[in-house]
Structure 1
Amino acid sequence: MSRFDRYILSQLLTLFGFFALVLVSVYWVNNAVGLFDALIASGQNVSVFLSLTVLSLPNVIRSVLPVAVFLATVYVTNRLSTESELTVMQATGFSPWRLTKPVLVFGVAVSFMMSVLTHFLEPASLTELSKRQQEITENVAARLLTEGTFLHPTPGMTFYIREISSDGVLRDVFLSDSRSPEHTTTYTAAEAYLVNDDSGAKLVMVNGLAQQHTTSSDRLLTTDFADFSYDISALTNASETRSKDINYLSTYDLLANADAVMQRTGRSPGQVAYEAHARFAQASACIVFAVISFAVLLMGGFSRFGMWRQILIAFTILILLEAVKAAVVDPIRKDATLWPLIYLPTLLGTVLSVGILRMISGPFRIKKVPA
């Protein structure tokens, strides 16, 4: 790689890192505020908040990388043009194809980062995030088991246990749920047990009474029960832990064990195929975003006012490619055999990039009119 290539590549990577950091920070602050309030309200410490935030970062980074690629490419190309560096390089004999080389290397480098995120880091982080959320729910539920105290874990809920025996039996349990404005339900039980399963912590009440008071009719309905299961997560006001979905699985499982994945998750063949190939398409989109942005900006000549018209054209093209991507989602999910359509935006972007570079460097070269 020549000194010119290293120079351009270093500029692109530096600006890419800056824009990625800014965008990730914006997304992080937006999502972290609600998460922080929920965790602090449930009695969690700051370390739990930080660990959950770190586990959610791969998904956030994956979302902002293509945008950061576009911004970095546009900014660097516009600066090189306004400072006449591109003009000098073209005057020394550098063709548009040659100028595109460091941009292509930049796109491939970001594509590699995106591949690591989509194929490895994001599925692993989502799986670990699900486990941590489950642990938090169980820990909060365990803290609710305090004998001899009326607890109000969330507005409209009252929970009381007279005694907790040494063998874990909860005696004389009282639970009142008045969160609904239409009715209030009260449960009393002689004994209860805390049971953990795949869906979360459950409170199993034995030999009890359920009383429901309807506000509108002022009627009281009572029901005796031998045993009754109540979801403890409702007491913690925590969001339910999502079941293991296809985005938690590795790409290898989605491609090599598609039948087992469909049976385990209940997803259709099209949904599994889309999830697997979308990860490859996201990586290839980074290359297209970089090259097509650079190619469009090369269409303009030197201007002391910048290249805003070309920037607007490049942005419009990328929006259209994203629209094509959105248009093929439903057909692929309905019919798995249409999975090659997921690569249509990448193919269109590649053809358009090659066409633009060929047009400005070949016999049909556009005449550049300086402003």
Structure 2
Amino acid sequence: MLTVLGWLTLAVWLGLAFGHGWFWRTDQRLPPSARPAEWPSVAVVVPARDEAAVLPATLPALLAQRYPGEARVILVDDDSTDGTGDLARRLGGVPDALPLTVVTPDPLPAGWTGKLWAVARGVAEAGAVDFVLLTDADIEHGPGSLETLVAACGEHDLVSQMAVLRTETPWERLIGPAFVYFFAMLYPFRRVNNPRSRVAAAAGGCVLVRRRALERAGGVAAVRGAVIDDVALARAVSAAGGRTWLGFATNVHSVRPYPRLTDLWQMIARTAYTQLRHSPFVLAGTVVGLALVFLAPPALTFAGPSWPALAAWVLMAATFVPIARYYRQWPVLGVLLPVTALLYTLMTLDSARRHFAGRGAGWKGRNYSST
């Protein structure tokens, strides 16, 4: 039985490594594109709820973008209690900076998540622009980020970049790159970018969407109750006939710190069960799948020893090398993927526990237990 399981795990990893859209590669970067003859207008919408700690690092970088066309920044102060709106106004108004408008949404209506209600307010404020860039308050855009995004859009209706996550603490180095690895396993970037594929996804920290495509998809209201709003928006745009693109960023970074395991646990557990559509059957299948794919290879290697299981473990670690190099981490971290997968399994189970306890996907004082 151990031998059979060992060969099964090896077969699974051979299929994942060579038949699952090359999910582990990091070569999906913004495509080079010619400068447009006329630069389209862009509104940058930043939903912000209690973000005073990160705005001094991110908002000035966004306002300092040099864009050849018409561009402005709209920060939506989503009922903050830490002075986010006042701080944003003080950071704006710098000479040669992009114009900044700080607005507040109306009271949150039923059926909406707070972030998407804030995004809808920002999009309404933007008016009839050609593009809307949706970016989180903790995302720092390097010089030229906005211009490069728009130039690369081409025939696409939605272009998204997976922001580079912080990896300054041991827990961030263990969990962060693996999060991107698991996300790419769920939504292989090459398949997202293949116009013949039905896979659609986006990374919420940096999403440039064509205004007409957003309207064809039903606007922000079409995904108003989504907790995992980035993927939901990409699916809505794709379902309306739009082309989507998703890749790895080099000039867009997340500055939000997650120094402790509990911080990362909260971040992942708040949406993990939502990703499984709140289905106990999907949850059970996910746990079994994680156990077979990530936990069985090392367990069988030590219990057997099983050489096929060891080969599966080596192949698993090898597929992690591109992500490790992308994050400038030791490639040997791939050997620890079973440990990280075990943590993700426990976080997912905890996410389900919170849902059945009525706590749901909570974030910054809001709870979406019914979402």
Please confirm whether the aligned pair reaches a TM-score higher than 0.5, indicating the same fold: no
Whose RCO is larger (CA < 8 A, sep 6+)?
2
The two structures have a TM-score, normalised by structure 2, of 0.20
Which protein has the larger Cα radius of gyration, Structure 1 or Structure 2?
A: 1
Between structures 1 and 2, the one with greater helix share: 1
